[in-house]
Structure 1
Amino acid sequence: MSLIINHNLMAMNAARNLAVSFGALAVSTRRLSSGLRVGLAADDAAGLAVRELMRADIASLNQGVRNANDAISLIQTADGALAVIDEKLIRMKELAEQAATGTYNSDQRLVIDSEYQAMASEITRIANATDFNGLALLNGNLSGTSHDGTGLQSTGKLKIHFGTANDSAEDYYYVQIDTATASALGLGTGAGATSEGYSVSTQSAAQNALEGINDAIVSKDNIRAKLGAIQNRLQNTISNLQIQSENLQAAESRISDVDVSTEMTEFVRNQILSQSAVAMLAQANALPRMALTLLGT
Structure 2
Amino acid sequence: MVVQHNMQAANANRMLNVTTGQQAKSTEKLSSGYRINRAADDAAGLSISEKMRKQIRGLDKASSNAEDGVSSVQTAEGALTEVHSMLQRMNELATQSANGTNSTTDRSAIQDEISQLTTEIDRVAETTKFNETYLLKGGDGTKQEYMKGHDAGLKGVLTDGTTKATFKVAAGALDEGKSVTIGGKDYTIGSTVNDVQTAVDRLTAADDKVTVNDKTYTYVAANSEAPGGQTVTTAGWVLDGDKTSTTGTKLTITNGDKVTTTPKTGASASYTAAEMDNGVSKADPSIISAEKAVSLMKDELIAANKVGVTNGTVEITGNPAYDKDNGVTFNINKGSAEVANKLSFSLHVGSDADMTNKITVGIETMNSSYLGIKGLNVNDDSGIAGTYAIDAISDALQKVSDQRSSLGAVQNRLEHTIDNLDNVVENTTSAESRIRDTDMAKEMVNYSKNNILAQAGQSMLAQANQSNQGVLSLLQ
- TM (normalized to structure 2)? 0.56
> In the alignment, does 2:390 pair up with 1:181?
no
> In the alignment, does 2:210 pair up with 1:23?
no
**Other-structure match for 1:164:** 351
**Could you say what secondary structure the match of 1:176 adopts?**
strand
Match of 1:218 among 394, 398, 401: 398
After TM superposition, list the pairs within 5 Å mapping 1:141-160 onto structure 2.
Answer: 141=139, 156-160=343-347
Shift of residue 158 of structure 1?
A: 1.1
Match of 2:384 among 200, 204, 228: 204
Shift of residue 286 of structure 1?
A: 1.2
Shift of residue 166 of structure 1?
A: 1.8
**Could you say what secondary structure the match of 2:371 adopts?**
coil
Which of the two has higher C-alpha Rg?
2
Match of 1:98 among 74, 96, 106: 96
Task: Tell me how far apart the structure 2 counterparts of residues 163 and 115 of structure 1 sit (CA, whole Å).
Answer: 48
1 or 2, which has the higher strand percentage?
A: 2
Match of 1:248 among 428, 436, 443: 428
Match of 1:227 among 401, 407, 412: 407
**Could you say what secondary structure the match of 2:363 adopts?**
coil
**Could you say what secondary structure the match of 2:369 adopts?**
coil
- TM (normalized to structure 1)? 0.89
Contact 1:68–1:234 under 8 Å retained in 2: yes
Task: Tell me how far apart the structure 1 counterparts of residues 110 and 141 of structure 2 sit (CA, whole Å).
Answer: 32
Compared CA separation, residues 279 and 143, structure 1 to 2 (3 A): farther
**Other-structure match for 2:204:** none
After TM superposition, list the pairs within 5 Å mapping 1:45-124 onto structure 2.
Answer: 45-124=43-122
Q: In angstroms, what is the RMSD of aligned CA positions?
A: 1.8
Q: How many residues align?
A: 276
1 or 2, which has the higher helix percentage?
A: 1
**Other-structure match for 1:132:** 130
**Could you say what secondary structure the match of 2:347 adopts?**
strand
Shift of residue 107 of structure 1?
A: 3.7
Q: Which has the higher contact order (CA 8 A, sep 6+)?
A: 1
**Residue 363 of structure 2 aligns to which amino acid in structure 1?**
I
**Residue 177 of structure 1 aligns to which amino acid in structure 2?**
I
Contact 1:127–1:181 under 8 Å retained in 2: yes
What's the CA shift string for 1:231-284, capped at 9, x where partnerless? 000000001000000001001100111111111111111111111110110011
What's the CA shift string for 1:52-97, capped at 9, x where partnerless? 2211211111111111111111111111111101111011111111
Compared CA separation, residues 207 and 226, structure 1 to 2 (3 A): same
What's the CA shift string for 1:136-193, capped at 9, x where partnerless? 111112899xxxxxxxxxx951110120012122x2211111121011100031xxxx
**Residue 167 of structure 1 aligns to which amino acid in structure 2?**
D
**Residue 37 of structure 2 aligns to which amino acid in structure 1?**
G
Contact 1:37–1:256 under 8 Å retained in 2: yes
What's the CA shift string for 1:86-120, capped at 9, x where partnerless? 11101111111111111123343222112111111
Task: Tell me how far apart the structure 1 counterparts of residues 466 and 428 of structure 2 sit (CA, whole Å).
Answer: 56
**Other-structure match for 1:147:** none
Task: Tell me how far apart the structure 1 counterparts of residues 109 and 437 of structure 2 sit (CA, whole Å).
Answer: 76
Identity of aligned residues (%): 41
